[in-house]
A and B are shown apart, each in its own frame.
Chain A
Amino acid sequence: MALKRGRGVAAINYPTGMNLGGDPTHALVHSTPTGNFMVSLSSVDLGQGMRQVVAQICAETIGVPVERVIVDAADTDTGPLCMGTFASRGTHRIGNAVIQAAREARQVMLEVAAEALEVDAGDLETDGEGNIQVKGAPARAISITDAALAAHFRQGRAISGRGIFLVPRSYPEAATGAMKPATCYAHACTVAEVEVDDETGEVAVLSLKNVFEVGRAVNPKLVEQQLVGGAWMGMSHALYETTEPYYPSREHGPTDFNMYLMPGPGDVPRIETVVLERPAPDGPYGAKGTGEMCANPHIPAIANAIFDAVGVRIDTLPITPERILRALQERSRRAAA
C-alpha cells in the first residue's frame, strides 16, 4: 500500500457558441447627450466579466475610451433578445452583435461631426481619447461630447446603432449526416499530476499545467481569472461533483447542496496556465472566448493521470475513492484468477 504518482495529458477542441446555431443575440447602442455610449443587452454577466468585455469591444469599435461605455444588461423584459450567457457564447456571439451595433452608431456619430465641422464624414477619424478629427489635420476636431450635444439639440439625430448576430441553424444532411455544428473552435491542453493512495483510493491533484488557445484575449486578466477558476472546477468535476453520489441506501444520500462535494481551498493544486492567441476570423477582434472550456481538459487529464499512477481506468465521473478501490480490487481478482 502506497502513495503512487502519475501524470496524464489531454487536449480538446472546443466550439464556442451554441452548437447547431440558430441562437441570436441582439445589441443596441446609443449615445447619451454628453457622448457616453450605452450598450443595451439582455445578456447576463454571471461574474465572468461579460460587461467588461462588451464595454471594451464597444469602445474599440466606436473609438472612445472604455470609461465612456455603460453596459446595461439588466432586464430581459425590456432589453433586446439574447439567447443567453451559456455554451461559451458570450464573448463570441454578444461581442459580434455589439460590434455591428457600435459600427452603425459610429457612422452616425461621424456624420454628425461632419455636419458640425462642415467636412465629409469619410475624412474623419477618432483619436481614441474622445475626439473626432479630420484625417491629417487633427486641429480640425470636435469632441465626442460636443458631437453628441449637437446631435441631440441642433441636428435632431439619434447617434445609435443596431446589431444582431446569428449563426444560421445547421441541419444534418439526410444522406450523409454532415453538418456544420460550430463556426469557431478554441483549443486547450492540460497535463495533470496526481498522487493516488491505493489503500484509501484518495486522489490529491498536485499540479495542473494548462495551455489555452482562446483567439484574442480581449481582457487578459479576465481570461486568466476564468482559467484559474476553471482549473479548480475541472478538478472538481473529475473527482468530486455529483448530485447522486452512491450510497447503499438512498435515505443516507444527500438532501441539498450543503452536501454537494467540492474541493476546498486546501485542495487547490499548483496551477500554471499559458494563454495562446490565434485570432479567429469570425470572432470579435479575433476572440473565441474561454467559457466552459476553462473546466474541460483537466477532467480527462486527471483520469489519465490516475491510470498512470495505479493502472486502473475509470470512465465514470466523478472518480471517487470508492470507484478507484473497486477497480483495483477487480484488477487483483482478475490477476488471481
Chain B
Amino acid sequence: MPKVAIRFTLNGSEAAEFVESGTTLLGALRDKLGETSVKGGCLQGTCGACSVIIDGALKLSCLTLAESCQDARIETVAALARGGLLHPLQRAFVETFATQCGFCTSGMLMAAKALLDHNATPSREDVIEAISGNICRCTGYEPIIQAILAASRAATSTAA
C-alpha cells in the first residue's frame, strides 16, 4: 500500500511522517510520532479517551484520519504543562482527586480545555455536557466536574 505524507503542527512543533492511507490520527500520534499521552480506548468513538483538539475543536483521534489533518494545529494533553508547571486544569484535577486509574484523564483534560477555551465560566450543566462523551470508570465523575469548575473559577479570579 502506498504511504501518504502527513504534516501538521503537534503541540506547537512541526510533525511529519509517512503513514499508510487510512491510518487514524490516534495511530499516527501513538505509533509513528511516539505521542503516547493520547490514549486508545474503545477505538470506536464511544469512550473519549483519545480526545485531542484539532484547530481549536475537540475531536476523537480514533475516528479522525491522519491524512485529513494536513496543516492542522493539533493539541494533546502533553501541551498543557508549561516548563514543568501544570496547567490550571491539571492542578485542579490533582487537587480535587479527579483521577484514579488515569486512563480517561488525557481525554477528560482535553474535553475540559476545549470547554474552557470557548466558555470561561461554564455552569455545572455546561461541564456535564462537555464531558458527556468521555467515560470514566473510577471517579464517579463528580470530582472531575468539581475540578473543571474549580479551574474555571481560578482562571476567572486571576483575570479579575
Q: Which residues of A contact B (CB under 8 A)?
A: 46-49, 221-222, 224-225, 228-233, 257-258, 262, 264-266, 268, 271
Q: Quick one: given A46-B101, A222-B97, A225-B100, are A268 and B142 in contact (CB under 8 Å)?
A: yes
Across the interface, do B143 and A266 meet the contact criterion of CB distance under 8 Å? no
A48 CA to B138 CA in the complex, in Å?
A: 9
Taking A47-B100, A266-B132 as contacts, is the C-beta distance between A228 and B143 under 8 angstroms?
yes
The 5 closest A-B pairs by CB, nearest first: A232-B140, A47-B101, A47-B100, A265-B141, A225-B97
Residue from A222, A229, A258, A265 in contact with B145 in the complex, judged by beta carbons closer than 8 Å: A265
* Residue from B42, B97, B141 within 8 A of A264 (CB atoms): B141
Is A47 in contact with B138, judged by CB distance below 8 angstroms?
yes
State A221–B146 Cα separation when bound (angstroms): 15
Secondary structure at the A interface, as helix, strand, loop or mixed, is helix
Binding site for A on B (CB under 8 A): 42, 44, 46-47, 97, 99-102, 127-129, 131-132, 135, 137-145
Contact between chains at A230 and B140 (CB < 8 Å): yes
CB within 8 Å for A229 and B42 given contacts A262-B135, A265-B132, A265-B141 = no
Chain A residues near B131: list those with CB within 8 A: 265
CB distance from B140 to the nearest CB of A (A): 3
Given the contacts A257-B42, A258-B44, A268 and B100 also touching, CB distance less than 8 Å: no
A224 to B143, CA, bound (A): 10
Q: In the complex the two chains form, is A228's CB within 8 Å of B140's CB?
A: yes
The reply to whether B46 and A225 contact each other, CB–CB distance below 8 Å, is: no
Shortest CB distance A316–B (Å): 23
Contact of A229 with B100 in the complex, beta carbons under 8 Å: yes
